[in-house]
Amino acid sequence: MANINLEFSDLRSFVAVAELGSFSAAALDLHLSQSALSRRISKLESTLGVKLIERTTRRVDLTTSGRDFARKARELLNNLDESLLGIGDMSERMGGEVTIACVPSAVGYFLPSVLRDYHQTYPRIAIRILDEGASDVLSSVARSEADFGINYIGAQEPNLEFEPILKEPFVVACRRDHELASREKLTWAELGQYDYLTVAKASGNRFLLDLALADVPDLPRSYCEVRHVMTVVNLVEAGMGIAAVPRLAMPADDHPTLVSIPLEEPAVTRTVGLIRRRGRVLSLAAQQLYELIKGREG
């Protein structure tokens, strides 16, 4: 059998194109010109004796051989990186970048302690956080603009993997000086007599609520709608009314101004999880952070 001499730079170039789905995006990620990147891919195809990528004017598609080889190439590169981590202070010298897309209400709960630990272990790896609405987080992961995401939607998407981490309830947000603040629990019907705030219909949280409450009578009517749940919380703190929000959107129980009250009849929950493109093998840097966040289950 003839020896096949593969260069790791060519493998990394191919994996970048396969995962980003674009020569221009991969070239930018690798700090190469597109012509240099094309030469690497052509050399790899020539070495292997198979066509890995179908190039058209508008898109890049992997061949059947290309899809299979992309998975094996990423595993090979990850195994190499893992081996290097065991040599001296390699973890401190390992560079690169990891991009996470995350809904803002989950940022404060999942990320600070994890990112501190991660940065101490891999101080040269840059971390980018795309704090966006649920639909934008979904799109960022689907388009490979983020390595993975933290979201409460995506479980039904055929091209994405959704790994549940936490189930959280919706609660009533109100000020401590509000007449409801001393209540141990509230029902949806009881909210209607108070100034009520909500997120707009385009919000993922509003979609979840509308779906869960479709058959519930006597729902509160809002007098003010905003786009983001964190804005609702800010308006509640400013004394503009009360709102039903995910528990993660609320500050700690000892907050001087705001209080969370359990909401029942019915109780509504959302499941927060990690999302990634189906079949995608993460880089070692991204996989390490993915596992750390996964271990933060609440």
> Do 175 and 153 lie in a common domain?
no
Last-in-domain residue among 28, 53, 85: 85
Distance of alpha carbon 64 from alpha carbon 2, whole angstroms: 23
Q: Rounded to a whole number, what is the distance in angstroms from the first to the last CA of the chain?
A: 53
Neighbours of 22 (CB within 10 A): 17
Residue 109, domain member (yes or no): yes
> Do 72 and 155 lie in a common domain?
no
Domain count, the chain: 3
CATH of the domain at 229: 3.40.190.10
Domain span including residue 244: 167-269
Torsion sign across C-alpha atoms 10, 14, 17, 19: negative
Pair 258, 241: CB distance under 8 Å: no
> Do 106 and 136 lie in a common domain?
yes
Whose CA is closest to 145, among 292, 6, 59, 22? 22
> Do 111 and 140 lie in a common domain?
yes
**Confidence (pLDDT) at 1:** 38
Residue 1, domain member (yes or no): no
> Do 190 and 227 lie in a common domain?
yes
Distance of alpha carbon 243 from alpha carbon 194, whole angstroms: 10
**Confidence (pLDDT) at 162:** 95
pLDDT in tens, the chain (298 residues): 345 667 878 888 888 888 777 888 888 877 788 888 888 888 888 888 888 888 765 677 888 888 888 888 887 877 776 666 555 455 555 667 899 999 988 888 878 889 999 998 888 889 999 999 899 999 999 988 899 999 999 888 888 999 999 999 999 999 999 999 999 999 999 999 999 999 998 888 999 999 999 998 889 999 999 988 999 999 999 999 999 999 999 988 889 999 999 999 999 999 999 999 887 778 778 888 999 998 875 5
Distance of alpha carbon 221 from alpha carbon 228, whole angstroms: 18
